[in-house]
Amino acid sequence: MRPLTIQRVFLQCSILVVILFVVVVIALKFGAVPVSLYALGHDLLRVIFGQTSQISSDYGLIVVNIRLPRILLGIIVGACLSVAGASFQALLRNPLADPYVLGVSSGAALGSILALIAEPHLSLSPAFAALLTPMGAFFGAAATITAVYFLGRREGQIDSNTLLLGGVITASFLSAVIMFLMNTLSGNLRGLAFWLEGDLSTPLQKSVYWFLSIGFFVAAGAIYTTAADLNLLLAGEKEAMHLGVDVPRVRLVVYVAASFLTGLAVSVSGAVGYVGLIVPHVMRLIFGSDHRTLLPTAALGGAIAVVGADTLARTVVAPAELAVGAVTAIVGAPLFIYLLRKRLS
């Protein structure tokens, strides 16, 4: 018997932090304009010591002002989606649950768009107006997962296949509504492709990064307090209750926090698909399915995956760019089919 210890969780996370660092350096180096590692190190040290004014070269400015914010965004989006995916999988007892597959991302996108449409009519202060999109995304995500949850019930029990089918249909329906809205309402809303396939290229205000980071840590932290409960919830709600889990409380915490994480990610990047599916699966294979280690490793793994995918998206067809969602879907969709077939056989 070797039960999980906090030291082991830290060790596993440190390994992933090192990998994330390497991926970030690669992402900074490669792009339409290549940058030497030496110059990169030099400029990064200047950023760390707050001497940004001394960065003179154009290359340095590209790295600091364009690539670095985009990488930070990728880290947060990947972490949010992976933790949300792992949480939905436990909550719905379905290893194929993922914010994108279940239509939750589309719901969040629709919520964001409705918030963007409503914003000019509400005369809010600028600080509050900036938060309206993520809040709209959160309510869109929460409403969608509620709807999918009830669609997935048969005779009072969650049926895995009905749930997935309900999610896929909901996603397709919501995408159609988004397309309808985007085609009938013109204005300065961000483009259609952004919401439907996911993209990290939109520059954001500095305050939004703070909001995203704090939002992630609060929501992921709330889910982490239920990590041991989620392990038992995998065996079913009745069994978890008999083992001492306060099922309604855990369900509420995880449901709200995972919807919020999806909303955060979608409001700034659109619907990046399959991250919440692939990453928790890979982390389970490597580190085991205990949520006390799965949640933090999935967060780091999600960051690695999205930063890596975005680097590919920026470089494979350079100087043009792919949307990051296209890269994650090319990898994720076949894996989804594989997992589905393996489970059905």
Partner 1 sequence: MSNGSAVARNPNDAPRASSDARLSVEQVSYAYSANPAQAPLFTLEATSFQAKPGEIVAILGPNASGKSTLLKLIAGELAPLSGRILLDGFVTQSLTPRTRAQRIAVVQQESVLLFPARVWEFVLQGRHSHGRSLRFESADDVLIARNALAQVGAAALSGRWMDQISGGEKQRVILARALAQQPLLLLLDEPTLHLDIAAQVGLLDALRRLAAENRYTVVVVTHELNLAAEYADQVVLMQRGRCLRVGPPASIYQRELLEQVFQTSLAVEFGASGRPRVTVLSGT
Q: To the nearest whole angstrom, how small is the minimum distance from the Cβ of residue 55 to partner 1?
A: 43
Count CB atoms within 10 A of the CB of residue 256: 17
By beta-carbon proximity to partner 1, the closer residue of 114 and 230 is 230
The answer to whether the beta carbons of residues 77 and 268 sit under 8 Å apart is: yes
By beta-carbon proximity to partner 1, the closer residue of 8 and 29 is 8
Q: To the nearest whole angstrom, how small is the minimum distance from the Cβ of residue 229 to partner 1?
A: 7
Q: To the nearest whole angstrom, how small is the minimum distance from the Cβ of residue 90 to partner 1?
A: 8
Residue type, 26: I
| Closest CA relative to residue 180, chosen from 83, 118, 110 | 110
CA distance 171 to 192: 15
Q: How far apart are the first and last CA of the chain?
A: 32
CA distance 260 to 135: 8
Q: To the nearest whole angstrom, how small is the minimum distance from the Cβ of residue 257 to partner 1?
A: 14
Which stretches of the chain bind partner 1, using CB under 8 A? 1, 3-6, 93, 95, 224-229, 231-232, 234-236, 238-239, 241-247, 284, 289-290, 292
CA distance 18 to 89: 27
Q: To the nearest whole angstrom, how small is the minimum distance from the Cβ of residue 96 to partner 1?
A: 11
By beta-carbon proximity to partner 1, the closer residue of 69 and 236 is 236
By beta-carbon proximity to partner 1, the closer residue of 212 and 227 is 227
Please list the residues that pair with 154 across neighbouring strands.
157
Q: To the nearest whole angstrom, how small is the minimum distance from the Cβ of residue 168 to partner 1?
A: 20
| Closest CA relative to residue 302, chosen from 279, 335, 286 | 279
By beta-carbon proximity to partner 1, the closer residue of 23 and 232 is 232
The answer to whether the beta carbons of residues 107 and 144 sit under 8 Å apart is: yes
By beta-carbon proximity to partner 1, the closer residue of 154 and 242 is 242
Q: To the nearest whole angstrom, how small is the minimum distance from the Cβ of residue 182 to partner 1?
A: 38
Query: What residue has token string 């009830």?
Result: 150
**Cα atoms in the Cβ-side hemisphere of radius 13 Å centred on 282:** 19
| Closest CA relative to residue 309, chosen from 89, 134, 73 | 73
By beta-carbon proximity to partner 1, the closer residue of 216 and 224 is 224
